[in-house]
Structure 1
Amino acid sequence: MAHDDNSGAELAAAASSDHGPENNVSTGTAVVANDAVENPGFPPHRQRVTDLNPKKERTAERTVYTLFYLSIIGSVWAIAAYMLFPIEPENLLSVRLNNLFIGVGVALALLGIGIGAVHWAKALMADHETIDERHPVRGTDETRARAVEIFETANEESGFGRRTLIRNSLLGALVAFPLPAVVLFRGLAPEGQDPVALLNETAWEAGTRLARDPSGVPIKASDVTLGSAFHVIPEGLSEMDHMLEEKAKAIVLLMRLKPEDLNEREDRKGWSYDGIVAYSKVCTHVGCPVALYEQQTHHLLCPCHQSQFDVTNHCAVIFGPAARPLPQLPIAVDDEGYLIAQSDFQEAVGPSFWERH
């Protein structure tokens, strides 16, 4: 019995030693968890040079409104460049100059506003730390009164109502910078012509041969091997009036698949030739050139917004923002073996517009 009592005492002591550290650890953990982290507060405020030196403040103010005035000059220059450097038919240099000078004006207009606003905020607006207290979102009288107070404080801190040169130059820049876009969009519609009719018609007509882009060399059906893709324009396009405008609507991608891979509708079975099909390159989303052909999947990809079209199913949309299939150009072969168009596209190419039939 004595041996048993000693064994029981040893077991009790062992149990006590086993649980002791655990209790100490858990107690220590509880003490640490209850220790609150002291709020360090805001770091010492560092005043800017414009806060300390009135001369520097006036220099910063002059810099800001000068940038806003430069933005106005850029907007006016973009409009003037549109008129001074018009695009002339068959003159690629005029296209480059037009794009260059208009782009410089628009860039100056946008950069002037952007850099001026950033410099205004960093150098002149109030520079002190605040605490944004969380509170319930309610439309009470107190909330509305506080909103008015915030706007008044923001006006005072930004100096919008007090710094009249900055305010007026900013308003002038904001009014001026959209004007180049208005003028440029107006020039998209040819004067004296119906834009709806122009968008519904292209340079393709019955008997026009398909030619390589940009060489203009006609394409024979035997040239189009299985799995190949050709960038195509109408033959004689370079001799047409308004060549660039006509090319923008008439560009085509020509591909050859196995005839059994084409799932053609009954009314379009005569639009292809021995597995050769032709589709407009103008994406039906916003008009980007669809020029990437995946030979194995038979998919066409628009690089701008990743719309994908299935060539085996009349270029139906299988992915992306495009809402309609690419228009198909009906093709055939003439007596000399050259690929020709049976007619123009049966629908308007490119993005949708209000008067689209």
Structure 2
Amino acid sequence: MSSKDVPEPSESELAEMDRDQLVELGTSLDGVKLVDYPDPWPVKGTRAEKRAERMVALWFVIAGLAGLAFVVLLCWPDVWRYKEPGASGTFWYNLYTPALGVTLGLAILGLGIGVLLYTKRFIPSELAVQERHDGDGEGSSELDKKTIVAQLADSGDRSTIARRSLIKRSAALGGGALGLGVVALPIASFVKSPWKEPNPADTLWHTPWMPEHPGDVVYLRRYTGVSEQVELIRPDDMDAGGMETVFPFHESDREDPEKLAAIFNRSDAPVMLLRLRPEDAARVTKRQGQEDFNFGEYYAYSKVCTHVGCPASLYEQRTNRILCPCHQSQFDALTYGKPIFGPATRALPQLPITVSPDGFLVARSDFIEPVGPAFWERKS
């Protein structure tokens, strides 16, 4: 029967119809014929049905517990706080990131499997044939609205979700825990206060290049692969057009192997030292207030990309561009590390350098601005 052959009932007749009659009328008006609409569980309360219900609930509970574990891990400071290699407690610290991935993945997997199992075991697999029509460009009539509501209610009733409180509660647990994790994840990245740490060197405003006491000289140190070996840099050690990654060295740390090794694990410590070619050095544009930060042809920039903190570790000698391989940000070494391509919007902080009386390259001070990406308290 075509939908055009179905007589449209009056408002009084429509009001007297029950849900089954409205469903039948609605499918007929849409040109739909239900060929088969079997009940997945024609005999109610069987062991198989209860077993299937418990299996669905089990996956929702797994999703809920994994989601709650993810939130707990995310907010547990003793787990995610950075620990140097060899320090006590590094076993659990090394498992922190994998544990976040496992718990979040298990929460999503459990919720997905639970929904799939419920769909497979409890939703009727109807077989229907429908005529195609475009509605003649008109909006939904009152008749269409009433019948579609009845059809949706009937579908919900046939899915038996209304009488399966175990599945509803477990699904709420799984979905709620996962939702809590989704909300907590972006918030957790903003909880660290740059003002909280008692040691100024551990705040976001300072780096290990800051002198530890008056008169402290911070040398530029190259990494040789042996953390206990201290190799300082003289201006003549680099060729024109060369680049080298350097780290801070305090003379007071020379006899302390732990500090000598720990500096290489500080994410804010690496600096890219460049020696420009004479013809390139003549074309440099310096930043206002930082005109004396270089030493001759030597320029030092933080290697922490100002986009999201990846290592800006590539240097293209021909174009004098510093490149970040993560998201392809590019910085011009001849224009105070200014971004010229990619998502980064701030220049790489420049480290003021000079030469000490004993002939080694040293830092004149810490960076005058925070390194890396932005945070709430940062003004620019």
Identity %: 32
**In the alignment, what sits opposite 1:193?**
197
Q: Which moved more, 1:124-133 or 1:94-103?
A: 124-133
Q: Supply the distance in 1 between the matched residues of 2:220 and 2:127 (Cα, whole angstroms).
A: 69
- Which is helix-richer, 1 or 2? 1
- Match for 1:225: what amino acid? D
Equivalent residue in structure 1 for 2:56, among 51, 64, 69: 64
Q: Supply the distance in 2 between the matched residues of 1:225 and 1:267 (Cα, whole angstroms).
A: 28
Is contact 1:233-1:252 (8 Å) kept?
A: yes
**In the alignment, what sits opposite 2:271?**
252
- Match for 2:109: what amino acid? L
1:41-76 CA distance string (max 9 Å, x none): 99x98999x679976665444333212211222233
Equivalent residue in structure 1 for 2:312, among 286, 290, 304: 290
Task: Report the secondary structure of 1:199's partner residue.
Answer: coil
Structure 1's 161 and 274: CA in aligned 2 closer, same or farther, altered over 3 A? farther
Task: Report the secondary structure of 1:350's partner residue.
Answer: coil
Q: How does 1:84-103 map to 2 (within 5 A)?
A: 85=79, 87=81, 89-90=83-84, 91=87, 92-103=90-101
| 2:360 is equivalent to residue 338 of structure 1 | yes
Q: Supply the distance in 1 between the matched residues of 2:208 and 2:101 (Cα, whole angstroms).
A: 30
**In the alignment, what sits opposite 2:219?**
209
**In the alignment, what sits opposite 2:166?**
165
Task: Report the secondary structure of 2:68's partner residue.
Answer: helix
**In the alignment, what sits opposite 1:28?**
none
**In the alignment, what sits opposite 1:120?**
118
Task: Report the secondary structure of 1:175's partner residue.
Answer: helix
TM-score (normalised: structure 1): 0.70
- Match for 1:273: what amino acid? F
TM-score (normalised: structure 2): 0.66
Cα distance, 1:270 vs structure 2: 1.7
Is contact 1:262-1:275 (8 Å) kept?
A: no
- Match for 1:72: what amino acid? G
Equivalent residue in structure 1 for 2:242, among 208, 224, 228: 228
Structure 1's 231 and 87: CA in aligned 2 closer, same or farther, altered over 3 A? same
Equivalent residue in structure 1 for 2:340, among 318, 327, 349: 318
Cα distance, 1:316 vs structure 2: 1.6
Q: Supply the distance in 1 between the matched residues of 2:310 and 2:204 (Cα, whole angstroms).
A: 15
1:143-180 CA distance string (max 9 Å, x none): 76577456535634655434332222122122223347
C-alpha RMSD over aligned residues? 4.3
5+ residue gaps, structure 2: 1-31, 212-216
Aligned length: 315
Structure showing greater Rg = 1
**In the alignment, what sits opposite 2:25?**
none
Structure 1's 156 and 351: CA in aligned 2 closer, same or farther, altered over 3 A? farther
Q: Which moved more, 1:143-152 or 1:341-350?
A: 143-152
Task: Report the secondary structure of 1:161's partner residue.
Answer: helix
1:189-245 CA distance string (max 9 Å, x none): 48953899922222213631122357464333223323332223221587569x589
Q: Supply the distance in 1 between the matched residues of 2:241 and 2:38 (Cα, whole angstroms).
A: 68
Structure 1's 101 and 143: CA in aligned 2 closer, same or farther, altered over 3 A? same
1:124-144 CA distance string (max 9 Å, x none): 434346658645585876676
Is contact 1:217-1:235 (8 Å) kept?
A: no
Q: Supply the distance in 2 between the matched residues of 1:277 and 1:139 (Cα, whole angstroms).
A: 70
Q: Which moved more, 1:287-296 or 1:117-126?
A: 117-126
Structure 1's 182 and 257: CA in aligned 2 closer, same or farther, altered over 3 A? closer
Task: Report the secondary structure of 2:268's partner residue.
Answer: helix
Structure 1's 176 and 261: CA in aligned 2 closer, same or farther, altered over 3 A? same
**In the alignment, what sits opposite 2:185?**
181
Structure 1's 85 and 349: CA in aligned 2 closer, same or farther, altered over 3 A? closer
Q: How does 1:32-47 map to 2 (within 5 A)?
A: none
Structure 1's 183 and 169: CA in aligned 2 closer, same or farther, altered over 3 A? farther
Structure 1's 127 and 333: CA in aligned 2 closer, same or farther, altered over 3 A? farther
**In the alignment, what sits opposite 1:219?**
233
Cα distance, 1:112 vs structure 2: 1.7
**In the alignment, what sits opposite 1:73?**
65
Is contact 1:87-1:98 (8 Å) kept?
A: no
Structure 1's 342 and 121: CA in aligned 2 closer, same or farther, altered over 3 A? farther
Cα distance, 1:356 vs structure 2: 0.9
